[in-house]
Amino acid sequence: MEKLGVTVHQIRLAKGLTQQEVYGGIVSRSFANRFEHGQNDIGASKLFMVLDNLGVSADELRFIQRGYQPTELDQALAQTRAYYEQLNFPALATWVREHRNSPTAHEQLVASYNNLLLRAYDHKHVQLTPTTQVVYDHLLNTETWTLQELKLIDALVPLIASKEGLAALSQLTAKVEKNCRHYLTRWGDPWRTYEILLDYYGTLFQVDLNYQNFAAAKRIKVKLDYVAPASLTWDGRLVRQIWLGIWALFFGDAAAGQATIDEVLALERRYRPTIDNTLYQIVAVRTKQARAYRQKR
């Protein structure tokens, strides 16, 4: 992998910028020359200033430096996420088994996280292995989560419900919301934090339904309404509509809820092969449960 300075040099030339425009007031010209030839390293604070002048984020710089390839961690997360969304649990279990004792920390982390997902999927009562217990304890006891950790929190919801009880989810929700607010700015949502929050609320909704905790499930609409469609990507808006449609099947206008779900599924069916099998699974399970719930009322 080439030195950071060499990559910065290539970006600067591609943008047609002079060294003075990029490094002026930050480092000397001689230092800039050595840096761009891979002979000098630069401190983080000064590198950020250089990147601001280039109009490039640190993540994009790393991506370019790696030959326009994601990091090994991002590759592992993308692969396992695809298995999970396709409900290809045999492939996901194989990946976990092959990487749980990996010499690299990021593969151990992803294997442990996906082990949590496999154990939590469609199970009320979950037993943790010593390896997954370490990940569980870390996420639960850490007060401030990074974005990457926030994306893993979904797996905690069924586990906490199983181990600590449903009442403990209120504290978890407050912690998730607090950490998400760290990444929301008055200029918008640069890290797609509302998407993370929406995924969390969806998981929380499903766990409440699994435990037939209908009073709490009914209250989730306030949370879903808080996530404004304008703050979401197209995919996020569709996911939000699915949750609101399912909510209506249970607690609102069931016909309107079904119509909303049908509209989203009609769009999803236009893609072949199917992109997200979990969507159909969720709708099928919750439609049947909602029908039974209304009959008992």
Q: Are 290 and 246 in contact (CB under 8 A)?
A: yes
- Summarize pLDDT for 238-264 with one digit per residue, the tens: 999 999 999 999 999 999 999 999 999
CA distance 225 to 220: 9
Domain membership flag for residue 46: yes
Residue 125 pLDDT = 52
Do 13 and 41 sit in the same domain of this protein? Answer: yes
Do 59 and 100 sit in the same domain of this protein? Answer: no
Domain membership flag for residue 61: yes
Domain membership flag for residue 198: no
Residue 111 pLDDT = 87
CA distance 207 to 81: 20
Do 61 and 10 sit in the same domain of this protein? Answer: yes
Residue 1 pLDDT = 57
| Percent of the chain scoring above 70 in pLDDT | 94
- Summarize pLDDT for 216-227 with one digit per residue, the tens: 999 999 999 999
How much is the mean pLDDT over the chain? 90
Do 16 and 53 sit in the same domain of this protein? Answer: yes
Domain membership flag for residue 273: no
Do 60 and 101 sit in the same domain of this protein? Answer: no
pLDDT at 208 over 70: yes
Domain membership flag for residue 259: no
Mean pLDDT of the 149-171 span: 88
Do 51 and 81 sit in the same domain of this protein? Answer: no
Q: How many domains does the chain have?
A: 2
Joined tokens for residue 112: 């442990």
**DSSP reduced 3-state for 288:** helix
Residue 84 pLDDT = 82
pLDDT at 33 over 90: yes
Residue 110 pLDDT = 87
- Summarize pLDDT for 187-203 with one digit per residue, the tens: 999 999 999 999 999 99
Domain membership flag for residue 58: yes
- Summarize pLDDT for 72-128 with one digit per residue, the tens: 988 998 999 888 877 788 898 899 999 988 998 888 888 888 887 777 665 555 566
Domain membership flag for residue 163: no
Residue 128 pLDDT = 67
Residue 245 pLDDT = 98
Q: Are 156 and 139 in contact (CB under 8 A)?
A: yes
Residue span of the structural domain in which 98 resides: 71-121
pLDDT at 214 over 60: yes
Q: What is the CATH number of the domain that holds 36?
A: 1.10.260.40
Residue 126 pLDDT = 53
Do 19 and 50 sit in the same domain of this protein? Answer: yes
Do 55 and 78 sit in the same domain of this protein? Answer: no
CA distance 223 to 227: 7
Residue where one domain finishes, among candidates 22, 38, 65: 65
CA distance 199 to 207: 12
Domain membership flag for residue 106: yes
Q: Are 282 and 210 in contact (CB under 8 A)?
A: no
Residue where one domain finishes, among candidates 19, 49, 65: 65
Residue 297 pLDDT = 81
- Summarize pLDDT for 39-82 with one digit per residue, the tens: 989 999 999 999 999 999 999 999 999 999 998 988 998 999 88
Joined tokens for residue 34: 């050595």
Do 9 and 58 sit in the same domain of this protein? Answer: yes
Residue 178 pLDDT = 96
pLDDT at 294 over 60: yes
Residue 151 pLDDT = 85
- Binning pLDDT at 50, 70 and 90, where does residue 280 land? confident
